[in-house]
Amino acid sequence: MSYSAAVADQDARYYRTDPGTRPSEENGCRVKGLIVNTEKTIIAPATPPGEGGLAVVRLSGPSSEELLRRFFKPSGKFPSLDSHRLYHGHLVDANGSLIDEVMAVIMRSPRTFTREDVAEIHCHGGPLIVQQILDLFIDAGAILAQPGEFTLRAFLNGRIDLAQAEAVADLIHARSVSAQRVALNQLQGKLSQIIRIYHRQVVDLLALVEAHIDFLEEDISPPQPDVLCRSAEDIIEAIEDLIAGFNSGRMIHDGLRILLAGKPNVGKSSLLNCLLGESRAIVSPSAGTTRDIIEESLLLHDLPVRLIDTAGIRHTDDSVEQEGVRRAREKAGSADLVLLLINADQHPDQDDLLALDSCRDQKLLLVINKQDLSPSVQLSSPWSDYPRVFISAKYRQNIDGLIEAVRDLAGLSGGADSSESVMLYERRHYQSLLQAKSCLQRFISGCRAGFGFELLALDLRDTLRAIGLITGETTPDQVLDRIFSRFCIGK
């Protein structure tokens, strides 16, 4: 079967849902209702498609070494290939015809990413060569890996938990050094270690409660409600400390959505061009030049940012400009931060107030532009109620000060500089911890209301299920599908 045919056929070949069949060593491993056929050897390119100096093709599964030895001819005479050692040689097809000069390595389980036997072929990076190698091994019995299947097998085989598996994709897609660091910390298991502490504390609490249920007829004093409540409150406090950093972690991971707002001709488009370092938006002395939304992505001092330039907000009879104003108001509601621009050489007027009214419910930084014309404008309420910074977009004055003000207001002034810091950035983890916190609060309320220990135990078991969603101990099929569908083929 060719590589392209394998792509079309891959779903039926090694994933199947069969709730009525108990998985065994022979038919694969079960993730809830999903059975992954781990007796099959998978193959995929581990490097991106396209031309390059080098490409890597990876196999994982029980036949990896046998398939490699069938087609790889080392330059020297080696009775066997040592694990985790690169060998020079040539890759030939079933007829002995040369495909490419390569380097090859066999990595025997369990010291591999998937904890299975893994083989890699390092070939020249031409698409035709890679396709020939894939076709060769697929025809010999390997099957094409689905997106994320190498990482899925690592999860199934206990090499990593689900939070670490998610971090693999996050590390690959990181757009800044800070995002890379927080993903790397999660991949190293630092978040998982914290979650396991929570899990152990809840288990200890559940043991106190269930001991009285199981040995009700014994002469055992029941745990005091105050003691149980204090233990639960300590766990809640620790959870709150972790979830308090979610917004900062999300901004580092996903980026900060910044809206440029203000009346016409205050310099929004000039600031956009200044931050981008190019003339992206039209700048003109005529008011109302920007009629539509302009969005651009960039890095500001290692912070991923989605910058949104909007139409100037003012009273107008122009229907097109009215639509632009409506869209600007709509965008303000979804922004993490609004930069509201006013002129340094003019006192704020009714159109400035109209612009302020459109975004006063959002986190707002007042940007006083054109400081080259009048650096000492005096502001009264409501303008003096907001944090502010003076700049000149035209002459790039104090742009670094603006960026630092943005980071401070977003709560990111320290960034993720510490390699030891653990930041929550996945919304799935955040929601799971909120659910665990809610279950513990329900447990505390039940303790104080004198509920029976059987009901209190149910709240603690619900807490454990919520915590287990993060590491994959209690994760539904559809969540696993969504997580691993984010991966590229070959990882």
Residue ranges for the binding site for GTP? 265-270, 284-290, 309-312
With helix as H, strand as E and coil as C, how does 216-267 read?
CCCCCCCCCHHHHHHHHHHHHHHHHHHHCCHHHHHHHHHCEEEEEECCCCCC
Residues at the binding site for (6S)-5-formyl-5,6,7,8-tetrahydrofolate are 58, 120, 159, 491
299: β partners: 304
Count other Cβ atoms within 10 Å, centred on residue 220. Answer: 11
Count other Cβ atoms within 10 Å, centred on residue 228. Answer: 22
Q: By the 8 A CB rule, do 331 and 268 touch? A: no
> What does the DSSP 8-state code read for residue 202?
H
Residues at the binding site are 58, 120, 159, 265-270, 284-290, 309-312, 491
* Nearest-10 crossing angle of helices 149-156, 477-484: 140
**Peptide bond preceding 49 in cis form (omega within 30 of 0):** no
Rg (CA), the chain: 29
Q: Is 66 left (phi over 0), alpha (psi -120 to 50) or beta?
A: alpha
Find all residues with CB under 8 Å of 207, minimum gap 6, and list them.
none
Q: List the Cα angle 137/140/142 in 5-degree steps.
A: 60
Residues at the binding site for Mg(2+) are 269, 290
Q: By the 8 A CB rule, do 36 and 28 touch? A: yes
Find all residues with CB under 8 Å of 10, minimum gap 6, and list them.
143, 144, 146
